[in-house]
Structure 1
Amino acid sequence: MTIETQARPAQDALLGKLRAALGNGAVKTDPAALAALASDVYGTGGLPLAALRPETVADMQEAVRICAAEKLAMVPRGGGASYTDGYLVPRGGHVIVDTGALADIAIDLENAIVTVGAGTTWAALKAALDAQGMRTPFWGPFSGLAATVGGSMSQNTLSHGSTAHGISAQSALGFDVVTASGEVLVTNAADTVRFYGPDLTGLFTGDCGALGIKVRVRLPLLPALSAFEALSFAFDDFAAYHKGMRLAQLARLDDSHFGIDLALSQGQIARQEGLNARLQIAGQVWRRSPSKAKAIKTLLRMAVAGENPMRAGAFMGHFIVEGFDAQDAAHRARHLRQLLGGIGREIANTVPSFVRSVPFAPLFNILGPGGERWVPLHGVLAHDKAVAFDGAFRALLARRKDDMDRHGVWIGTMFSPVGPSGFLYEIALYWPDARTAYHDTVLPQSHLAAIATYPAAPDARAFVDVLKNEIIAEMQAFGAAHFQIGRAYPYRERLSPGAQALLRSIKAELDPDGLMNPGVLGL
């Protein structure tokens, strides 16, 4: 009798307990479904024993108690758009804990707080808050159709609202976390205040689920502002682009901004700028403009500019400036134009207008514009390191050019602000290769039928992995920090010995058997 055969009765008994506690529909063991859950955007891990989808916090607590009693590793999964092995366990045999059913939204207008289930998507939260004329400070990444609030707090992310209000973690007031004991730990002593004594909420931001499973998140509310200006600027080189973005970050005139290079502008971004997208933009501009005269002026400027301004520079910066009214938005936009004048040149605002009208686009970009495989990686750099890193990165690409050409690898870059002092440099790698079960599950068949398919390319995949790690090492050499750490970026080894000891002690207190997402953060 094999070890696997011996283990099967124990596994069946465990699954029986979980089904009895959660219901048959909340315990998934279908091999095809588990194979899809064993992959993320980039990698593939070991096969899970099961996927659990608790419908209530009490169900989550009971599931955790059952798994902990059996010493079974538990790995939380939100929207699933990780590309850093965040929910992949190499050895397999774990349970995936899908938080998607925890999607309640409780809006407290009097106290300006919203409490959401950790599995709530940012798109669902925005829709609920739009109806009340409210928003959260940070209000979601570009992947917000799938990305969950709990996942974004566990991984740390940025995009909408980040210039004015910082990353996802900075908008959290508090969490309810189910720890490995099955107890609910409430991180803030008062619902309305995060910084009431030591910041226990901050301890659980960016933890990748290593310290527990988030089940509720409390966020502050702000009035949503309908008046806005969308602006775009082109820059001829990275040094000029970085200079302009640094000044914009310090001024904090916009709600959010991001930058892309020519490769992404002509590839991933341009793919979304087809006729349907342009018509959608036009409709949104018409409906959201404070006056029809202003709408006509904006649409005429976009029509005259056409597509060429998207290719008017090596790097493009795109801004969404909000105001209390049209005059306030125009005033801020005018100051931004003055700030960037002489550094870049203004171009058509098609891209930020599209992002404003469709902030959460479908996840088509998890494959390249030609159906290629895709993986992004990033580093958050100090401003005085950004230009030097760009030079070192370009030198690395030059050294690897022959290998990249041989394997069909190409790159694009994107940039975002992290408060006034951090500069996020994101690199996207593309290469021709077969899709995984993840892509075939997440993307609609209509989209997959319209793009190219490729045979498996293990040599190209292996080279991309080497190149990816070389780029991360280069980022580390320049002191970069990272979000979405998962199992891809070094963290624990960057800490001082004392900080490492403290982290291990916290992990041991909350998760003495090391069952919560083992391996992330280097734990």
Structure 2
Amino acid sequence: MTGHLPIHALSDAVGGSGRIATDEARRALAAQDISGQGPERPGVIARPATIGDLQSVVRVAADHQMPIVVRGGGLSYTGGYWALRPDTLMIDMRDLNAVEPVTAASSVVTVEAGATWAQVYEALKPHGLRLPVFGPLSGSRATVGGGVAQNVAFYGSATHGLAGDHVLAMDVVAGNGDLITVNGPEIAAYVGDAGILGIKARIDMRVIAFPSQQHYVSLAFDDERGLLAVQRAIAKGALRGTIAEAYGFDRVTHHNLAATGFSVLEAAGIAGDVARGAGSLVSAARSLTKMAVAPRAQLTRIAWSLHCVLEGDDPALSDAAAQLDELCRSNGGRPIPDTIPRVARAKPFRPVRAMLGPDGERWLPMHALFPPDGVDEALTIVAAARTQHRQAMQACDLRMSCMTAVIGDRIIVEPQFFWPDSLTEFLRANVLPQQLAAHGEAQSNPRGRELAHTLRRDLTQKFGAAGGRFIQLGKFYKTPLSESAQSSRQAIKPANDPDGLFNPGALEFN
């Protein structure tokens, strides 16, 4: 399929044939993501090393009317970089990863879009700085450009919302190859645009002082009502400015953590991370003792759990911890060892192991964001789906977990599906070596695969009807977080990309 493509011109644009891939193996791999197989293989993959080369390769593609998709860390589960036509140019952004120097007095950091969240975190930390939302759990591989285009959340999100909320400006390559600077109110259209308005090349983001102290809290609840009452209060403003993360797990998630996530707690590496993050020797000893008294069997008996990280200085931090304790206890929360948030924060960006379940199962997540008073209905929808499909799920050994988390003034609900199945070429290339060695020969389970995708589509439709909104849209979700931003995109798209070449099919743009 590459014979008619302008391979030589594309090669010249990015500095030589070593930055172009046309072989079947790499093109086939680039047609897959975590969720499975895309419609087409890209015709060619380009990996520019400079923003100038990025502009040049876009101009060549535009001259030949080639659709363009952009790949960062490659961890999409919504078809974010899938090609719809075989003449598609895929641009791999990972070599555009510079983080401009900062000082302790800096209020902004400028990064190239291919930099990972982990790179930015490590570049800022020695200067006592941090991004307000400093990345998703996959930040060791996920890129800032991809995170802004899809709008991600997790670390720091209970107070600071979404990563895109802290973008101050960006340089974007338009459809004709020009580099345009976006700032002010226009930023809202480019954040979460799935790349349809242009290619994010360089991004300015707000930074904050790295909090001097952290306080960790974990609690068990007998059902979701108490958990949601606490998360609702936080989303409505309780502890705003102090609470950085507030995420909840159900019993299936506890089983998964006990089966694999907690097995790594026994490794000296994580114990060392926790000890270093604790500060003094006394604090380190206390932290490791808490880890030691959190046996896996205890975790699997808990119906729901809440895990929080509070940040700040005393006495405000101590006051906030007391307020959170009172809020949780008044809603039925029981303190348990704070191992989960403590380990997560000791080293935020570890190798990504979540692409498979605890026993090597395939993994397919989904989500929706709800206003605080709408989250009960969301969990009712999840429970109804479990009941309705219980027999079918048991027949193909499919399990569904559910996680909740406070994201600013919203709560995200994230069902995740796990089922035994053979590994795709994407997974074989991307899971950890020990996972591949243990599960590389898994047998195909098409019934489980079909049911997982059916349930994801069904829950997405029901979440949307219940008022849920979506981020990380890719080509799967059709209801963007902001209707006003979508209206702005409709106005900007014809000027930036008159031929509709950027990520066709995303956000219902052709």
What TM-score range do you get, normalising by the shorter chain? Answer: over 0.9
> 1:55 offset after TM fit, Å?
0.5
Change over 3 Å in CA distance of 1:274–1:457 after alignment to 2: closer
The one of 438, 449, 454 aligned to 1:461: 449
Residue 438 of structure 2 corresponds to residue 450 of structure 1: yes
CA distance, structure 2, for counterparts of residue 308 and residue 348 of structure 1: 13
Within the alignment, does 1:389 sit opposite 2:378 as a pair?
yes
Q: Does the CA contact (< 8 Å) of 2:356 and 2:431 recur in 1?
A: no
**Match among 19, 32, 51 for residue 57 of structure 1:** 51
Shift of the alpha carbon at 1:26? 1.1
Give the secondary-structure state (helix, strand or coil) at the position aligned to 2:366.
Answer: strand
Per the alignment, residue 469 of structure 2 pairs with 481
The CA distance in 1 between the partners of 2:308 and 2:267, in whole Å, is 18
Please list, as runs of the form range in 1=range in 2, the aligned pairs for 1:203-282 lying within 5 A after superposition. 203-249=189-235, 250-251=237-238, 252=240, 253-268=242-257, 270-274=259-263, 276-277=265-266, 279-282=268-271
Matches within 5 A, 1:52-201: 52-109=46-103, 110-188=105-183, 195=184, 199-201=185-187
Aligned residue for 1:192?
Answer: none
Task: Report the Cα offset of residue 10 of structure 1.
Answer: 2.7
Cα 1:470–1:394 change in 2 (3 A) is: same
- In structure 2, distance between residues paired with 1:214 and 1:493: 19
Q: Which residue of 2 aligns with 1:191?
A: none
Instruction: Note the alpha carbon deviations across 1:416-452, whole angstroms, 9 max, x for none.
Output: 11212x1100010111211111111112333310236
Provide the secondary structure at the position in 1 that maps to 2:214: strand
Look up the equivalent residue of 1:164 and give its one-letter code: T
CA deviation after TM superposition for structure 1 residue 469, in Å: 0.8
In structure 2, the residue matched to 1:42 is: 35
1:15 equivalent to 2:7? Answer yes
CA separation of 1:217 and 1:275: change in aligned 2, threshold 3 A:
closer
Q: 1:373 touches 1:430 (CA, 8 Å); kept in 2?
A: yes
Identify the residue that residue 32 of structure 1 maps to in structure 2. 25
2:392 aligned to which of 393, 403, 412: 403
Which deviations, in whole Å up to 9, do the C-alpha atoms of 1:114-156 show, x marking residues without a partner?
A: 1000000011111111222211111100000110001000001
**Residue segments in structure 1 that go unaligned for 5+ positions in a row:** 189-194
1:223 is displaced (CA, Å) by 1.6
Residues 35-93 of structure 1: CA deviation (Å, up to 9, x unaligned)? 11110001211111111111111000000000000000000111111101111123433
* SS of corresponding position for 2:354: helix
Structure 2 unaligned segments of length 5 or more: list them.
none
- Distance in 2 (CA, whole Å) between partners of 1:350 and 1:406 is 35
User: What displacement does 1:464 show?
Assistant: 2.0
CA distance 1:329–1:282, change in 2 (3 Å): farther
Structure 2 equivalent of residue 377 of structure 1: 366
Q: TM-score, normalised by structure 2?
A: 0.93
Whole-Å separation in 2 of the counterparts to 1:396 and 1:178 = 43
- Partner of residue 292 from structure 1, selected from 266, 278, 281: 281
Equivalent-residue separation in structure 2 for 1:183 and 1:229 (angstroms): 47
User: Could you tell me which amino acid in structure 1 is paired with residue 17 of structure 2?
Assistant: N
Rate the CA distance shift 1:472–1:215 in 2: closer, same or farther, 3 A. Answer: same
**AA of the residue aligned to 1:16:** H
- The 3-state SS of whatever aligns with 1:115 is strand
Q: Is the 8 A contact 2:58 2:177 kept in 1?
A: yes
Find the partner of 1:331 among 297, 300, 319: 319
Task: Report the alpha carbon displacement of residue 460 of structure 1 after superposing the two structures with TM.
Answer: 2.6
Q: Is the CA contact (8 Å cut-off) linking 2:232 and 2:373 kept in structure 1?
A: no
Partner SS, residue 48 of structure 1: coil
Aligned sequence identity (%): 32
Bigger Cα displacement from structure 2, 17-26 vs 90-99:
90-99
Given candidates 487, 492, 504, the residue that maps to 1:506 is 492
Letter aligned with residue 206 of structure 1: G
3-state SS of paired residue (2:330): coil
Q: Compared with structure 1, are the counterparts of its residues 70 and 413 closer, same or farther at alpha carbon in structure 2 (3 Å cutoff)?
A: same
- Do the aligned partners of 2:400 and 2:416 also contact (CA within 8 Å) in 1? yes
**Alpha-carbon shift at residue 493 of structure 1 (Å):** 12
CA apart distance, 1:500: 6.8
Q: CA offsets, 1:356-404, max 9 Å, x none? A: 1121122211111111111100011122221122123211221111211
How far, CA to CA, are the matches of 2:106 and 2:346 in structure 1?
A: 29
**Could you say what secondary structure the match of 2:4 adopts?**
helix
> Which residue pairs with 2:402 in the alignment?
413
TM-score when scaled to structure 1?
0.91
